[in-house]
Amino acid sequence: MNDKMLLAGEVVAVLENRITNKKRFFATRNLITTDGDTYYAEASMGSESWSVAGMRLGWDPASADVAKADTDVNSYLAGTQQAIDAGYPMTDDTDGDNVSSNDIVSWRVSYGSSAANVTSISEIAIVDNITSPTKALCHAVFATAFAKTSDDTLKVFVNHEFLGS
């Protein structure tokens, strides 16, 4: 028997200027961590040993790689912790800024104009505790850093696609 399941991950950040309504999209692959592998395996049995609390944003000037053992962003940006949006995670995401499929689990975190106003966002992690994380579902680093100001809103989608082989 050679049945395997692969989890593939993608992050899409949508930065929208509230004045011009112009949207900028930033996409990257994300690594589902060892804790994330365990989370999804246990979730398939209805027995998760930990829960997802939210997202933290970071800035990594060295563009460090992500690793299976990661439990947070490499360099946390103060004040950027945020809970997962109500109704997420979900499959067949109804938000038009995201992909939709019945084999993609989508997580979304939204930052309003007064939240996470920082000059250099380059990484995200979905974690078990937004104040003091000990586990991460996934971790991603963007190739290009971007700024968010009070003129902007930000939605970050983390998509995990389940692929059988």
Note the pLDDT tens digit of each residue in 92-113: 999 999 988 999 999 999 999 9
Task: With respect to residue 103, please indicate whether it lies within any of the assigned structural domains.
Answer: yes
pLDDT of residue 4: 57
Query: 46 vs 34, 41, 89, 91, 105, CA distance in Å?
Result: 18, 9, 15, 17, 16
Task: With respect to residue 113, please indicate whether it lies within any of the assigned structural domains.
Answer: yes
Average of per-residue pLDDT across 62-67: 77
Average of per-residue pLDDT across 15-30: 96
Q: Residue 86 sits in which domain range?
A: 7-164
Those residues with Cβ within 8 angstroms of residue 1's Cβ, 6 or more apart along the chain or in another chain: none
Using one digit for the tens of pLDDT, what is the confidence trace for 77-95? 999 999 999 999 999 999 9
Task: With respect to residue 34, please indicate whether it lies within any of the assigned structural domains.
Answer: yes
pLDDT tops 50 at residue 125: yes
pLDDT of residue 1: 45
Question: From CA 74, how far away is CA 17, in angstroms rounded?
Answer: 27
Task: With respect to residue 1, please indicate whether it lies within any of the assigned structural domains.
Answer: no
What is the number of domains present in the chain? 1
Task: With respect to residue 2, please indicate whether it lies within any of the assigned structural domains.
Answer: no
What pTM value is reported for the model? 0.93
Task: With respect to residue 17, please indicate whether it lies within any of the assigned structural domains.
Answer: yes
When pLDDT is cut at 50, 70 and 90, the band that residue 8 belongs to is confident
Q: 67 with 46: CB under 8 angstroms?
A: no
